[in-house]
């Protein structure tokens, strides 16, 4: 009889069923691409497509957010937690239920990734109290920055006709093994007065690795090689410490290439 009364009471109180049978927590997420190190910068809220509210149509689109990795860990490593990826829209349109773990305090890491697995946004809560039911949406700050610049060439021609593409390598000086990428972009485009250099966009440059590396100055080494159609290097440049801030806050000027290549 007492057991029946308890079940009847639970069915009457919504919280009893919500917290115990369904989930012990619900977690959602949003994304903010602003430079979080500068309090004067306005919010730059993004959806799963990761595009600005008023996009720059002259620039390439940002990588969309494909998955969000939810990692809930026991700091002592004694009890199981949660280690799972979800489609981005699940936590934007609602909240992900957390079930089947012991009620205690955990650490929480949320990482939003593009289709290639690059972490675009990261949120860390070292002390997530799950001793009681919570339903929360976390705003994830950007984990990347970007650069935009024009290459310049020696001589009278703004962009020599023999140049077909520019091979670019960008690596974070503090974490070179984790953050090196190489990509190729067209070097020139037809302007009103002949070939002109195309603006180079480098995005998804990692500027945070964990909670200890939220910095305003992130030095990147840039290596540029302007190549002909046969991939022979014609003009080169190396920039040893180009600063990259979080979000859309590109610093520095154009990159001057020379005919001296290693």
pLDDT 10s digits, 105-157: 999 999 999 999 999 999 999 999 999 999 999 999 999 999 999 999 998 78
* Rounded CA separation 57/60 (Å): 7
For residue 38, pLDDT beyond 80:
yes
Residue 254: which of 199, 206, 204, 210 has the closest Cα? 199
Of 35-39, 81-85, 117-121, 129-133, which range is least confident?
35-39
Please tell me the number of Cα atoms within 13 Å of 178 on its side-chain side.
14
Q: What is the pTM of this model?
A: 0.85
pLDDT score of 211: 53
Report angle CA 125, 96, 204 to the nearest 5 degrees. Answer: 60
**Strands, E assignment, the chain:** 25-32, 45-46, 67-73, 82-87, 96-98, 105-113, 119-129, 134-141, 144-149, 151-152, 165-172, 181-186, 188-191, 194-197, 200-206, 219-227, 233-243, 255-256
Q: List the beta bridge partners of residue 227.
A: 165, 233
Mean of pLDDT values over 238-259: 89
What confidence score (pLDDT) does residue 210 get?
Answer: 57
In angstroms, rounded to a whole number, what is the distance separating the alpha carbons of residues 261 and 235?
6
- What is the pLDDT, as a whole number, of residue 250? 80
pLDDT of residue 127: 94
**How does pLDDT run across 188-229, given as a tens digit for each residue?**
888 888 888 889 999 998 887 655 445 566 889 999 999 999
Specify the domain boundaries for CATH 2.60.40 within the chain: 25-142, 145-256
DSSP-assigned beta bridge partners for residue 16: none
Contact 200, 242 (CB under 8 A): no
**In terms of CATH architecture, what is 25-142?**
Sandwich (2.60)
Tell me which CATH code domain 145-256 carries: 2.60.40
Say if strands 144-149 and 119-129 run parallel, antiparallel, or are unpaired: unpaired
| pLDDT value for 5 | 32
Helix (H, G, I), strand (E, B) or coil at 4: helix
> Confidence band (pLDDT; 50, 70, 90) for 14?
very low
End-to-end, the C-alpha distance of the chain in Å comes to 86
pLDDT at 9: 30
| pLDDT grade for 254, boundaries at 50, 70 and 90 | very high
User: Which is higher by pLDDT, 132 or 10?
Assistant: 132
Mean pLDDT in residue range 81-98? 95
Q: What's residue 215's pLDDT? A: 58
């Amino acid at each position: 009889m007492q057991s029946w009364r308890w079940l009847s009471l639970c069915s009457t109180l919504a919280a009893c069923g919500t917290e115990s049978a369904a989930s012990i927590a619900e977690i959602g997420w949003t994304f903010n691409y602003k430079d979080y190190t500068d309090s004067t910068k306005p919010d730059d809220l993004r959806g799963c497509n990761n595009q600005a509210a008023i996009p720059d149509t002259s620039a390439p689109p940002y990588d969309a957010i494909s998955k969000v990795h939810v990692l809930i860990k026991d700091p002592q490593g004694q009890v199981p937690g949660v280690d799972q990826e979800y489609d981005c829209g699940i936590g934007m349109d609602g909240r992900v239920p957390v079930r089947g773990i012991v009620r205690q305090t955990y650490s929480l890491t949320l990482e939003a990734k593009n289709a290639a697995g690059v972490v675009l946004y990261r949120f860390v809560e070292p002390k997530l109290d799950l001793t009681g039911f919570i339903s929360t949406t976390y705003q994830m700050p950007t984990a990347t920055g970007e650069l935009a610049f024009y290459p310049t060439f020696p001589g009278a021609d703004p962009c020599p006709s023999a140049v077909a593409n520019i091979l670019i390598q960008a690596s974070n000086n503090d974490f070179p093994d984790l953050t090196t990428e190489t990509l190729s972009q067209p070097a020139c485009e037809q302007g009103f007065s002949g070939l002109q250099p195309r603006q180079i966009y480098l995005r998804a440059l990692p500027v945070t690795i964990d909670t200890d590396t939220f910095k305003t100055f992130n030095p990147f080494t840039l290596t540029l090689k302007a190549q002909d159609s046969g991939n022979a290097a014609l003009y080169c440049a190396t920039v040893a410490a180009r600063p990259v801030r979080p979000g859309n806050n590109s610093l520095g000027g154009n990159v001057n290439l020379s005919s001296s290549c290693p």
